[in-house]
Amino acid sequence: MVNLNLKVGDRVRAKPFHVIVKTFNNNKSCSRGLWLDEAEMRPFCGATMTLTRVVNRIIDEGAGTLFELKVPSVVLNETQCSGLKRRFCGRGMLHFWREGWLEKVG
């Protein structure tokens, strides 16, 4: 597990997609339970972005329950679902990133 000690406002670069793939469990676009939406997130791989929040817990909308993440994720403000590749999802859902998929800049 990678711990970059990231904080809100830090600049990070998403690693190239071919590097991120190596972190997946059984090549299922998933790293320790967090799925990388290849269609939506791959275009951001290699880009430098700003961390806007650390996510330690989320709501499972289907079940209506709040649960703690075992491994915190981060949100990068420039990355959200465009809806173009996911049946025009209009919600603009934020993408969650693993620290292992990123490298600190500066």
3-state SS string for the chain: CCCCCCCCCCEEEECCHHHHHHHCCCCCCEECCEECCHHHHHHHCCCEEEEEEEEEEEEECCCCEEEEEEEEEEEEEEEECCCCCCCCCCCCCEEEECHHHEEECC
Q: Is the pTM of this model over 0.85?
A: no
pLDDT value, residue 86: 60
Q: Write out pLDDT tens, residues 11-30.
A: 999 999 999 988 887 757 77
Predicted confidence (pLDDT) per residue in 43-95, tens digit: 899 999 999 999 989 888 788 999 888 888 899 987 877 776 666 566 677 88
CA separation for the pair 22, 81 (Å, rounded): 23
